[in-house]
Amino acid sequence: MGNVVLNLSMSEINKMKSYYDGKLLDKAPPGSVFAAKTSGSTITAYKSGKVLFQGGGCEAEASRWGVAAVNSTAPTKISAPKGNVPSGISQMSVIGSDEVGTGDFFGPITVVAAYVRKEDIPLLKELGVRDSKDLNDDKIIAIAKVIKDVVPFSLMTLKNEKYNQLQQTGMSQGKMKAILHNQAILNVLEKISPVKPEAILIDQFVQGSTYFQHVKNQKGVAKENVYFSTKAEGIHLAVAAASILARYAFVQYIDKLSDAAGFKIPKGAGAQVDEAAAKLILKKGREVLPQFVKLHFANTDKAMNLVNKKRR
């Protein structure tokens, strides 16, 4: 089945809606303005301005509007399922869950669970949805701004101060992540109820048995049709969409930290963050660190060593 995506203004989309008045569908996807069906194409217009044409006659139908198609993005690679993941999962309606920020010294952990219906997979492919690690920040922001209106999702943000408090009580990062993933998934299940996903796929960071041990004392636990896989963003676009939305939220939070610090905060855990942390300490004092960083990282001691050298 062919796909064409156009980028139109809202006034043009409203004209389209009037044009297809007699062919409008009763049910339109989340985040859409309308959906219509002609003899050779299905047309879905989204609030973002993207209009998706699907079907054998999609190119001819799209050409009616005299607008060049959105540039094609790199093809989305779908990997073969691993372990006990169902063989046909890539074409199922799935809740995917992923996290960002666990290896970054500055900034929070952001976890997103996102529900992708099988009907929306072509649009997400056309938009270039894939693992956020393969995309630069500008591309992540552009894609996230579109898909946040297309897919139901839940964002959980574990800010640095709370992270440091939990870590100092002895809670492992793995347990923190498991609790965040579980809550995000429960939130999405509530949003889409009474609809149920065909599967729930979590980008694996611990064994399934350990994950469920971590969340056993939570008020609610999502257990039905839950699967785990490494590199899950390559198995279903729901995980890739979650990855992009989580990265988008992380990037936005880093921008807020940069504003609070008065200079650009770097990502990662390399030498550049040691320098940034030292600069922050010299500027605002060590007592502000818990609001900005994950204190138990080795970067904290490295930053303090830099501070001591600069003060001599």
Q: What is the pLDDT of residue 27?
A: 85
Would you say residue 259 has pLDDT above 60?
yes
Tokens for 286, please give them: 């060590």
* Cα–Cα dist 265/273, whole Å: 8
Residues 6+ apart with CB under 8 A from 128: 73, 74, 76, 135, 139, 143
Q: What is the mean pLDDT of residues 79-90?
A: 76
- pLDDT per residue as tens digits for the range 32-71: 899 999 998 999 988 878 888 888 888 888 888 875 444 4
Query: Of residues 53 and 223, which shows the higher confidence score?
Result: 223
Distance CA 235, CA 146 (A): 21
Question: What was the pLDDT predicted at 70?
Answer: 45
Tens-place pLDDT, residues 279-311 = 999 999 999 999 999 999 999 999 999 999 888
Mean pLDDT of 159-183: 98
Q: What angle do CA 132, 250, 221 make, to 5 degrees?
A: 85
Total Cβ atoms within 10 A of residue 101: 24
Computed over every residue of the chain, the mean pLDDT equals 90
Of 160, 134, 144, the residue nearest 241 (C-alpha)? 144
Q: What count of other Cβ atoms lies within 10 Å of the Cβ of residue 203?
A: 25
**Is this model's pTM higher than 0.75 or not?**
yes
d(CA 190, CA 219): 14
Q: Residue 149 CA to chain centroid, in angstroms?
A: 12
- What DSSP string describes the chain? --EEEEE--HHHHHHHHHHTGGGB-S---TTEEEEEE-SS-EEEEETTSEEEEESTTHHHHHHTTT-PPPPP-PPPP-PPP-TTS-TTGGGS-EEEEEEE-TT-SBS-EEEEEEEE-GGGHHHHHHTT---GGGS-HHHHHHHHHHHTTTS-EEEEEE-HHHHHHHHHTT--HHHHHHHHHHHHHHHHHHHHTT---SEEEEE-SS-HHHHHHHHTTSS----TTEEEETTGGGT-HHHHHHHHHHHHHHHHHHHHHHHHHTSPPPPSSSHHHHHHHHHHHHHH-GGGGGGTB-TTSTHHHHHHHHHHHHH-
Residue 16 pLDDT greater than 60, yes or no: yes
- The stretch 89-98 carries a mean pLDDT of 95
Lowest pLDDT segment from 62-71, 152-161, 233-242: 62-71
